[in-house]
Amino acid sequence: MRVLDTRTTEPEELARFLDKPLLQDNPEVEAAVRRIISEVRSRGDEAVLEFVRRFDWPQADSLIVPNSEIEEAYSKVPEKLIQAIKLAKAHIEAFHKKQQRSSWMDKDDRGVTLGQMILPVNKAAVVAPAFQAPLPSSLLMGAVTARVAGVREVYVCTPPRKDGSIHPAMAVAAAEAGVDKVYRIGGAHGVAAFAFGTETVPRVDKIVGPGGIYVTMAKRLVYGEVGIDMLAGATEILILADESANPIYVAADLLSQAEHVNARALLVTTSRELAESVSKEVDRQLSTLSTRDLASKSIEANGAIILIQDLDEGLEIANRVAPEHLELAVAQPMEILASVRNAGAILVGESSPEPIGDYVAGPNHILPTSGTARFSSPLNVDDFLKKTNVIIYSEQGLREDGPSAIELAEAEGLDAHANAVRVRLE
């Protein structure tokens, strides 16, 4: 891995590894996605089937995965994997139940009652990718969280294989999460179908879940017609480490993310010795991975070891990057935890490797990327909730507060606003 020292590296070179845009300008992709959305919106199922045939299943003749295929999937998935899916589901459910919220009302001594009704959206769709491999964990993260939030109808869209079936592990995850229907649709056409509805696909209120550039672009373009969780870029990890860190663990965790397309893997460390050991260990472990070609490309393009003077400088870099995953591989991680301001997920100590958070810990792994953790959060129960304000004024309250409302309305030149209060006071 390349090594950059903050004391000697040119700022422009350092910035290349620290400041990564969420979406590169790509007029060709945007134009293609706009065409897909337009076709789906105007021609419904007919257009969706055409795109499924073009991209995934050449003989596509239906969009809904039948219940029989989902039931049969249990016989095709190893028992250990079924149990792992059940464990992950249980932990995701338990964690997200702690995020549940209730409606509230407060009445003051004038008889004025103010409050909020907190209600789930009616329908949500979870985008479950399968472009490199099936991702049942992402399906669980989206669907289980929606169920905990109280969403009435939860759907999944995932691309089919060449024979039209979906991967059995995806079917099992969908069943365990309790989704209402699974649709064998992927890509931008899947997002468009759920954003506008077709003869077969319901229009939903919220679309969540990760995806490649076409899915992300589609989510951006349909936002406003439908709610979305976030715009996600390529996955990333930043490990902040001192001389106490285990280079074998650090290298393994960097590679755990590097095996995704265009992933970014950064080690920020105070120790030159650790930097040298990790660089050698990355090369050694790469040779053992079945995904070494992809991981090597990510390391070469987006990987770096950044040498820093002290942990304070490391924290500045971590907060600047606002990484999707931040690991604290230092001797006293709890002493610096409170100084982390921007990260999607923080994994503390050597017994907390990033994949534990991805799969079984329980917190959501659908996380903000590309610096967006500066202002956004992991997928959570609130993503499926909407708040409606409730205002119940008493006559006394209106007499006391009404004149101020009139003053503000008149200051804004809105005479009818003022009059609606004035006629009650007169």
The verdict on 181 and 92 lying in the same domain is yes
Position 370 in a domain: no
| pLDDT tens-place string over residues 46-63 | 999 999 999 999 999 999
260 and 145 in a common domain:
no
* Confidence at residue 98, expressed as pLDDT on a 0 to 100 scale: 98
The answer as to whether 106 is a domain residue is: no
Give pTM, 2 decimals.
0.95
Q: Which domain holds residue 283?
A: 3-22+233-361
Does residue 142 form part of some domain?
Answer: yes
- Tell me the H-state helices in 21-78: 27-43, 45-55, 67-73
The confidence score (pLDDT) of residue 23 equals: 67
Indicate which residue of 259, 281, 324, 350 is catalytic.
324
Q: Is residue 346 part of a domain?
A: yes
Please give the pLDDT value at position 25: 75
In-domain check, residue 386: no
Of the listed 325, 327, 354, 365, which one is catalytic? Answer: 325
How far, in Å, CA of 258 to CA of 237, rounded? 9
Do 224 and 239 lie in a common domain? Answer: no
Tens digits of per-residue pLDDT, 99-117? 999 999 999 999 999 999 9
Domain-embedded: residue 178: yes
Write down the mean pLDDT value for the chain. 96
Residue 194's closest CA among 184, 205, 181? 205
Q: Are residues 337 and 406 in the same domain?
A: no
- pLDDT exceeds 80 at position 22: no
Distance, CA of 150 to CA of 172 (rounded, Å) = 21
Mean of pLDDT values over 355-380: 97
Per the annotation, the verdict on 407 as an active-site residue is no
Please check whether residues 47 and 158 belong to one and the same domain: yes
Query: Where does a domain end: 309, 338, 361?
Result: 361
Average of per-residue pLDDT across 309-328? 97
Q: Which two tokens stand for residue 166?
A: 């979906």
**309 and 259 belong to one structural domain:** yes
Instruction: Look at residue 382 and tell me if it is in a domain.
Output: no
**424 Cβ partners below 8 Å, 6+ apart?**
398, 402
Cα-trace Rg, the chain: 25
Q: Do 85 and 212 reside in the same domain of the chain?
A: yes
- Within-domain flag for 110: no
Tens-digit pLDDT profile for residues 199-255: 999 999 999 999 999 999 999 999 999 999 999 889 999 999 999 999 999 999 999
Confidence category of residue 171, pLDDT binned at 50, 70, 90: very high
Is 278 in the same domain as 138?
A: no
Query: What average pLDDT does the segment 382-391 reach?
Result: 98
Structure confidence at residue 16 as a pLDDT band (50, 70, 90): confident
Which of 298, 300, 256, 303 is closest to 275 using CA atoms?
303
341 and 404, same domain (yes or no): no
- Evaluate if residue 164 carries a pLDDT over 80: yes
CATH assignment of the domain containing 187: 3.40.50.1980
From 321, 346, 361, the end of a domain falls on: 361
Give per-residue pLDDT as tens, 75-95.
999 999 999 999 999 999 999
Distance CA 386, CA 393 (A): 23
Query: Residue 382: is it exposed, middle or buried by C-beta count within 10 angstroms (0-12/13-18/19+)?
Result: middle
Q: Is 189 labeled as catalytic in the residue annotation?
A: no
| Same domain, residue pair 222 and 348 | no
Same domain, 279 and 318: yes
- Percent of the chain residues past pLDDT 90, beyond the cut: 94
Distance of CA 345 to the CA centre of its chain: 11
**What local confidence, expressed as pLDDT, does residue 238 receive?**
98
pLDDT surpassing 90 at residue 283: yes
Query: Is 198 in the same domain as 265?
Result: no
Report whether 166 contacts 184 (CB < 8 A).
Answer: yes
- The CATH number that applies at residue 419 is 1.20.5.1300
Q: How many domains does the chain have?
A: 3
**Dist CA 143 CA 156 (whole Å):** 8
At 233 the pLDDT is 87
What's the confidence (pLDDT) of residue 108? 97
Category of 234 on φ-ψ map: left (φ > 0), alpha (ψ -120 to 50) or beta = beta
Q: List Cβ neighbours of 85 (8 Å cut-off, separation of 6 or more).
A: 136, 140, 169, 172, 173, 176
Instruction: Give yes or no for a contact between 215 and 32, defined as CB atoms under 8 angstroms apart.
Output: no
Out of 339, 361, 383, a domain closes at 361
From 214, 191, 185, 237, select the one nearest 365 (Cα to Cα).
Answer: 237
Segment 297-322 shows an average pLDDT of 96
